[in-house]
Structure 1
Amino acid sequence: MAVCARLCGVGPSRGCRRRQQRQGPAEAAAADSEPDTDPEEERIEAGAAAPAGPGPGSPPPRCSLLELPPELLVEIFASLPGTDLPSLAQVCTKFRRILHTDTIWRRRCREVLHRYRHILGLWQPDIGPYGGLLNVVVDGFFIIGWMYLPPHDPHVDDPMRFKPLFRIHLMERNAATVECMYGHRGPHHGHVQIVKKDEFSTKCNQTDHHRMAGGRQEEFRTWLREEWGRTLEDIFHEHMQELILMKFIYTSQYDNCLTYRRIYLPPSHPDDLIPPGLFKGTYGSHGLEIVMLSFHGSLARGTKVTGDPNIPAGQQTVEADLTRRIQLPEAESPHSFDALSRVILEVREQLRQEQQEQEGEGCGQEPPPSPAQPQPEPPAEGAGGELRGGEGESATTQQPPESGQPFVLPAGVSSRNEDYPRTCRMCFYGTGLIAGHGFTSPERTPGLFILFDDDRFGFIWLEFKSFSLYSRVKVTFQNADAPSPEAFDEMLKNIQALTS
């Protein structure tokens, strides 16, 4: 509410421009503390309370605005033009307090934000297969679009990094200035076009501020020296994926309109294993990527918000069947990859047979007899035991142990991050999406979904003998909640269809 107040000049505004450039995304600031009494207010109240002169001919006492109920003052102030409110706030402390009422500033926000109020929220830029994550928020006198980037590979638990891409000034009443914030020289004039309710585009209007005589390669090298303080050769191998993404954004800003499509954070349900949301995950040579974890009945699905040339953004990367729980051995020493592979493939074969039976019943055919499945027995106390696949063990009926169970990667499984948790709550059969360059010949391969705690999960890819660790994105994104579960499901279908 105090942020909205600053849009019309009420409340603290000094240094807003410097602060947003220096600190990055900020929540709405609390209103400045104010004294309990105000000399001007005391003067007004004293005048209103002064007794009328004696005698029958004395004029009737005047009624002060301060005597009106606060609810009535809110309605009066809310009907005034926004440009008059700063002066009104300087009258007395009581007026300033009332002018911090949410009802007034919700109306002022609708008046000031104009048509740009539709771009507030969470967005995915259309940058080829790479995607991305953009949060558009109100910050002081501006609407700012912040691009969020994963931490440097392989530090999956590090916080997200962010950069401003564009900025919209809100000081004008009937117009707003748009600035392009990205590039090695800026800010400079830009343009925002709202294509439709859930789609908008940006473009820099001063392309000469981006270009250099040496061509694009020289431009990009100059930008690297200014932004990173290092040369392209020094950091190419260390941050290859990020450099490709940054260069794509950098060139798209002035060669084409960069389009953004709205995305939502997944809704939560009481029976979810962990809170759904955004996670940072390791993907081998592709570095760290952003994945959205959501729950759909008995399935947990991870959808890529950022992608790579093999699996583009928008595709469902991992999926866990929460009815197919796999029991790990209790031993402290690593179990073999062959044992893990065997039990996972057995679960896959079991699922295939069940699917065939269901298809046969649907066609009116007699289903083939399925072999009797032995009931799994718990390993003896103190023994290592075998990996076991649980048939029909739902996560909602099997509560995770409070202390967890030991977890060690099987011998032969590679991991970019050796600092993974050594205990886990439970494991499930899952599948992961793999494909060739350019998303060619995509297929789902079996794997193991490991739930470590509320903020981390992992996936072992049998096809590659590799392990991916995912850590929660701990950022409070504004205006990012889905209006309904149906709207979230529709959003997932739309972003997946764009890359299929």
Structure 2
Amino acid sequence: MAVCARLCGVGPSRGCRRRQQRRDPAETAAADSEPDTDLEEERIEAGAAELCSEWSGRSSSPSPPPRCSLLELPPELLVEIFASLPGTDLPSLAQVCTKFCRILHNDTIWRRRCREVLHRYRHILGLWQPDIGPYGGLLNVVVDGLFIIGWMYLPPHDPHVDDPMRFKPLFRIHLMERKSATVECMYGHRGPHNGHIQIVKKDEFSTKCNQTEHHRMSGGRQEEFRTWLREEWGRTLEDIFHEHMQELILMKFIYTSQYDNCLTYRRIYLPPSHPDDLIRPGLFKGTYGSHGLEIVMLSFHGKHARVTKITGDPNIPAGQQTVEIDLMHRIQLPNVESLCNFNELSRIVLEAQEQVRQEQQRQEDRTEDGESSGPPTEVREPENEGAAPLKEEPVQFVLPVGVSSRNENYPRTCRMCFYGTGLIAGHGFTSPERTPGVFILFDEDRFGFIWLELKSFSLYSRVQATFRNADAPSPQAFEEMLKNIQSLTS
């Protein structure tokens, strides 16, 4: 019992922590408020290494039972034991041996730590979208060692769409305290400093820095802004002045306010996957003309696929559905020689657009006549069941003459093409409209879209990072999330 008490971090009068877990939360809180005993102090001074040797070497009778070391216990039991210990003692325990260190990186321990010690923050693990004007963003909150850390994910520098994502820490929460948690702001170049997190509701929270002077540089705002441009864009102010002149004022406002003020985050989910999906859905990086690279989400919805912006720009803000693909209408591209002619591609796309319009009109007429609202008989079933599309032989692909692309290193073969529409708008999301285009499937991890009216091409490459605690609890929850983030910018 003494050993059990030591492992659980309590004295004899307080009982075994593992039994305490079955108590009412109020009883557990009352027990934790009692003063520590001498046995508790002895356990802290001795450390976890003494516990191991004491367990294995104890002998209290002439005929002792077989000795058992903590190292011989199965990992599942060690996880349960370690999860019951105070967080302040876990770093010392991790130094005992490699096995203990490895077990202490188990998510089960830290998820329980979030529930018991940091119950206020147990809902913030996962993916979030910050409310930064039209720009949005992607925040991943994870357990990382002895901290909960919020990592802001950034796309590669334009136009290197196939490069890995960049990321930087925005805040962290210490997991070692027994009764409280320390929140630190990680933004700026002067190291961690005091911050604050407020849980607004289950799927929303906000952060605030309490020491914004740590964000300042000795050279003032001009040095800070130039440093931000180098880090975020990979270019100098002079390089982008002429190309992005209209956006510089907005960019400066975003830079000076996004982390100094209270910033709100709203939960987002990864799209659910289905065996009949054209490719695996998920997050992608895409080129958007002079706006650089942005993060989008590809999801499938029956006979359509959608590309939703996770990050945005002053024209099309984050949360908007930038591209919609009609999986019922494949487009057969001409040979490479004919494809070089933009007029030929335009003719093919406009024919598909007219076919879609006629089918929609017939569907409306059938509905008005009181008939079934099911699909009209003229519509063909899609030919992309299961993984079959990617088994098709690739065909040569080249951009038509006159179509602009920020990335000339696009694939020269493609697997399938579909009719789609893209969302365009003026500065400030004025006069938005959907215009026809071509969705090009290159492979499992890359696709593109030709904007017919803009005569431009966007290349998308899959985000290869792994995100935990980001799956939607149900397809309905994912659909509701999409509606919520779109409504914020409508």
TM-score (norm 1): 0.75
Residue 18 of structure 1 corresponds to which residue in structure 2? none
Which residue identity is paired with 1:316? Q
Letter aligned with residue 289 of structure 1: E
Q: Give the equivalent residue in structure 1 for 2:152.
A: 147
Q: How far apart, in 2, do the equivalents of 1:278 and 1:422 lie?
A: 23
Q: Which runs of 5+ in 2 are unaligned?
A: 1-8, 10-48, 372-377
Q: What SS does structure 2 have at the residue aligned with 1:281?
A: strand
What amino acid is aligned across from residue 138 of structure 1 in structure 2? V
Q: CA RMSD in A?
A: 3.8
1:300 — aligned with what? 305
1:270-281 equivalences in 2 (<5 Å): 270-281=275-286
Q: Supply the distance in 2 between the matched residues of 1:359 and 1:103 (Cα, whole angstroms).
A: 53
Matched, 1:193 2:198: yes
Give the SS at the match of 2:257: helix
1:339 alignment partner, SS class: helix
- Per the TM alignment, residue 220 of structure 1 is displaced from its structure 2 partner at its CA by 2.5
One-letter amino acid matched to 1:473: V
Percent identity, please: 80
Q: Tell me which amino acid in the other structure corresponds to 1:311.
A: I
Q: 2:465 is matched with which residue: 450, 471, 475?
A: 475
Partner amino acid, structure 1, of 2:471: D
1:436 aligns to 2:441 (yes or no): no
Deviations 1:243-293 (A, max 9, x none): 778745542245521111110111110011111011111111111111100
Distance 1:407 1:186 in 2: 49
CA distance in 1, matches of 2:276, 2:73: 47
The offset of 1:62, in angstroms, is: 6.2
For residues 69 and 307 of structure 1, the distance between their equivalents in structure 2, rounded to whole angstroms, comes to 52
| Aligned counterpart for 1:465 among listed residues 451, 455, 472 | 455
The change in CA–CA distance for 1:231 and 1:365 in structure 2 (over 3 A counts) is closer
Q: Which residue of 1 aligns with 2:365?
A: 360
Q: Which residue, out of 375, 379, 383, partners 1:394?
A: 383
For these two proteins, the number of residue pairs brought into alignment is 434
**In the alignment, which residue of structure 2 is the partner of 1:266?**
271
Counterpart of 1:379 in structure 2 is none
- Deviations 1:35-79, CA, capped at 9 Å, x for gaps: xxx99968865665x983xxxxxxx64675659986877766655
**Hey, what's the Cα distance between the residues in 2 that align with 1:277 and 1:74?**
32
Amino acid in the other structure paired with 1:395: N
Q: Counterparts in 2 of 1:208-247, with a 5 A limit?
A: 208-211=213-216, 216-217=221-222, 219-221=224-226, 232-234=237-239, 236=241, 247=252
Change (3 A) 1:81 1:170: closer
CA distance, structure 2, for counterparts of residue 266 and residue 404 of structure 1? 27
Unaligned 5+ runs, structure 1: 1-7, 9-37, 53-59, 367-372, 374-389
* 1:477-498 deviation line (CA, Å, top 9, x unaligned): 2221111111111100000000
Provide Cα deviations, 1:139-176, integer angstroms capped at 9, x if missing partner. 12222111111111111111111121122222222222
Secondary structure in 2 aligned to 1:192? Answer: strand
Deviates more, 1:79-88 or 1:451-460: 79-88
Q: Is the 8 A contact 1:332 1:408 kept in 2?
A: no
Residues of 2 paired with 1:391 and 1:335: CA distance?
A: 29
Q: Corresponding residue for 1:291?
A: 296
Instruction: Name 2:208's counterpart in structure 1.
Output: 203
CA distance in 1, matches of 2:100, 2:285: 47
Q: Contact between 1:182 and 1:250, CA under 8 Å: does it hold in 2?
A: no
Q: Secondary structure at the match of 1:195?
A: strand
Q: Contact 2:244–2:290 at 8 Å: present in 1 too?
A: no
1:167-178 equivalence runs, <5 A: 167-178=172-183
d(CA) in 1 for partners of 2:482, 2:366: 31
| TM superposition shift of 1:97 | 9.0
Instruction: Please state how far the C-alpha of 1:186 moved relative to its aligned partner.
Output: 3.6
Report the Cα offset of residue 211 of structure 1. 4.9
Task: Report whether the alignment pairs 1:409 with 2:399.
Answer: yes
Other-structure match for 2:119: 114
| C-alpha distance in structure 2 between counterparts of 1:169 and 1:74, whole Å | 20
Which of 90-99 and 461-470 deviates more?
Answer: 90-99
Letter in 1 for 2:385: T
Question: Residue 114 of structure 1: CA displacement?
Answer: 3.1
What CA distance in whole angstroms lies between the structure 1 residues aligned with 2:465 and 2:68? 44
Q: 1:190 to 1:490 in 2, by over 3 A?
A: same
- Aligned to 2:266, the other structure's residue is in SS state strand
1:126 aligns with 2:115: no
